[in-house]
Amino acid sequence: MDAETDAFIRYLATERGLSDAYQLSVRQSLDALAAWISARSLSLADLGTDELSAFLTTRKEQGLAASSLRITVVHLKIFFRWLTGRGTLPMDPAEPLIAPRPEQQLPETLNRATVARLLESIDPTRPLGKRDLAILELFYASGLRLSELCRLRLEEYDEEEAFLRVTGKGNKTRIVPVGGKAREAIDHYLRSERRELVSKRTGSHLFLSKRGGALSPERVREIVKERAAAAGIDLRTYPHLLRHSFATHLLEGGADLRVIQELLGHADISTTQIYTHVDGARLKSIHRRFHPRG
């Protein structure tokens, strides 16, 4: 099966133009299938729908989450469709496979008081305080993904109109407003601290490291974690938690779900609908707590 896998990965790279990360993900699924086949002394020609179902059952028993199983099913379907199209196999054994339902996992959020405590704990007069405050204010004000914030450049920030031009997943661009507090924090950072961080290696990235380069995603995660610890917040705090909090607090405030979808850069409204479950969970909790027969 190794030769077929290598040929398929080349096809994904050269003809489909898919990313290295996607190619690696597919290879991991197919390598797992190859190991399962080898352990049972089978070949590709021996595989039918029952065998592929048994392989998926094994992966589930090994602890693979439902979301990862869904991805594996997709990988199997495109691989065997490709093999059938080339005439390597007479029939597609993966076509009848049904992906497991995604698990309903509600995103973690911070409540408003905790977000306020986090942001208000950052002293902008301390070294890198203005930068770190601008980063956290922007995460919460605009709901950016970590990768989006790290890629931001000066020319993508309209200071006068308080808008960002953000490039998200699939290289799709969206316009995101910057809230008043975030705008104030960014402007203070740009007018003083960023200038002090500029070096010969500095490009136009909005947020800079101590050496003047672009901040890495790993460093931004550390900044959020360190600032939360300094604020005495015991919860595990990470950039996406602020994105979840941004969306949840907008919904609680009465924002339309389609508006939240646009702000988050979700291609499908079903992705945004998870936040309606968060809000519903909050309402149920309040009902149980305060209603005499809750």
Quote the mean pLDDT of the chain.
Answer: 91
**Would you call 243 a catalytic residue per the annotation?**
yes
Where do you find CATH 1.10.150.130 in the chain? Answer: 2-86
* Rounded Cα–Cα distance for residues 42 and 51 (Å): 10
- Amino acid residing at 174: R
**Would you call 210 a catalytic residue per the annotation?**
no
Top-level class of domain 113-239: mainly alpha
β-partners of residue 167 are 173
Least confident stretch, 191-200, 240-249, 250-259: 250-259
Residue 264 pLDDT level (bands cut at 50, 70, 90): very high
Where do you find CATH 1.10.443.10 in the chain? Answer: 113-239
Total H helices, total E strands in the chain: 14, 3
**Would you call 151 a catalytic residue per the annotation?**
no
pLDDT of 10-24, one tens digit each? Answer: 999 998 888 899 999
Confidence at residue 98, expressed as pLDDT on a 0 to 100 scale: 85
Rounded average pLDDT over 268-292: 71
- Pick the more confident residue, 276 or 15: 15
**Would you call 145 a catalytic residue per the annotation?**
yes
Query: pTM for the complete prediction?
Result: 0.64
* Rounded Cα–Cα distance for residues 272 and 246 (Å): 12
Return the half-sphere exposure (C-beta side, CA atoms, 13 A cut-off) of residue 256.
3
Least confident stretch, 91-105, 155-169, 184-198: 91-105
Main-chain dihedrals φ then ψ at residue 100, nearest 5 degrees? -65, 155
Q: Which entry of 140, 157, 189, 275 is annotated as an active-site residue?
A: 275
- Residue 280: is its pLDDT beyond 70? no
* % of the chain residues with pLDDT over 70: 92
Q: Which entry of 169, 201, 258, 288 is annotated as an active-site residue?
A: 169
Q: Which entry of 151, 227, 243, 249 is annotated as an active-site residue?
A: 243
Q: Which entry of 77, 205, 266, 282 is annotated as an active-site residue?
A: 266
- Give the CATH number of domain 2-86: 1.10.150.130
